[in-house]
Amino acid sequence: MNKKEDVVLVRVEFLGPIQKDALELEIVNLNELAAILQKDEEVKEWLDNCAVAVNDNLVTSLECELKNGDKISLLPPVCGG
Amino acid sequence: MSLYDGSLDVPGILKEWYEAELTSNYGAYIPFVGTVRSEDGIDGLSFDIYEPILKSWFDNWQDKAKQKGAVIKMAHSRGDVMLHESSYIAAVFSPKRRVALEFIDEFVEDFKASAPIWKYDLKNGQRVYAKDRSTAIKGSGILGAK
């Protein structure tokens, strides 16, 4: 059995003013992402005010399973116009 | 919906929309034009846009407008827009004025609260995120510490 097929690799993008390059992470749900980002000094201050999108759809719960190749975006507070 | 690099050509865009709907039998055309004002010593504003989610947000509003027989138009700037220039135009066409008047209000308010656009002040050669004027999108904070 080829274990590589079981790997779930997702891309995490930080939008707008969050000055951070995208990450490639091996995680299977958003709870794991929360745990990782809460330890990230560059990002943790943004988390309480960021919206989260998976494959460009906004999600409102951490109960979201991730598939290989998913794109997760963090959207800080907005102000268009 | 159209996105432009730099400031908007206000007369050109209003004319384009007017001409596009000239024979569509709408009784009302209500535009909103946002202009960069001089305040707090800024030289202008600058914008980042995340297009995929902006597009789905806009398409959702267009569907709502369609159900009322109306149509929404929107133009926004990417990058730098200087004082007294325009960065945002929205408009609603509807058969009767009441629908368009109500829609432009609801649409622009939700735009401010939900559209994935980030604003920066241009001041003293710096580009500074307008954090205090920004609004967290509904549902934000799920990744934060409990």
How far is the C-alpha of B66 from the C-alpha of B18, rounded, in Å?
Answer: 18
Residue B74: per-residue pLDDT: 98
Chain A within 8 Å of B70 (Cβ-Cβ)?
A: no
How far is the C-alpha of A35 from the C-alpha of B82, rounded, in Å?
Answer: 41
Kindly report, residue by residue over A42-71, the tens digit of the pLDDT: 999 999 999 999 999 999 999 888 999 999
Token code pair at residue A49: 């005010």
Residue B145: per-residue pLDDT: 84
Residue A64: per-residue pLDDT: 87
Helical ranges in chain B per DSSP H: 10-20, 51-67, 97-114
Is it the case that residue A7 has pLDDT exceeding 90?
Answer: no
How far is the C-alpha of B56 from the C-alpha of B141, rounded, in Å?
Answer: 21
Closest CA to B100 of B88, B108, B91: B91
Kindly report, residue by residue over A19-28, the tens digit of the pLDDT: 899 999 999 9
Contact B53 A17 (CB under 8 A): no
Is it the case that residue A1 has pLDDT exceeding 60?
Answer: no
All structural domains of chain A, each given as residue ranges with its CATH number in brackets, are: 3-75 (3.10.20.30)
**Chain B residues in contact with A58 (beta carbon < 8 A):** 53, 137, 139
Q: Are strands A9-14 and A71-75 parallel, antiparallel or unpaired?
A: parallel
Q: What is the ipTM of this complex?
A: 0.94
Is it the case that residue A6 has pLDDT exceeding 90?
Answer: no
The per-residue b/e assignment along A53-67, b for 16 or more CB within 10 angstroms, e otherwise, is bbeeebbeeeebebe
**Chain B residues in contact with A42 (beta carbon < 8 A):** none
Q: Is CATH 3.90.1170.40 the classification given to domain B2-131? A: yes
Full pLDDT tens readout for chain B, 146 residues: 999 999 999 999 999 999 999 999 999 999 999 999 999 999 999 999 999 999 999 999 999 999 999 999 999 999 999 999 999 999 999 999 999 999 999 999 999 999 999 999 999 999 999 999 999 999 999 999 86
Average the pLDDT over A33-49 and give the result.
96
Contact B142 A33 (CB under 8 A): no
How high is the mean pLDDT of chain A? 93
Closest CA to B71 of B15, B105, B28: B28
Contact A50 B143 (CB under 8 A): yes
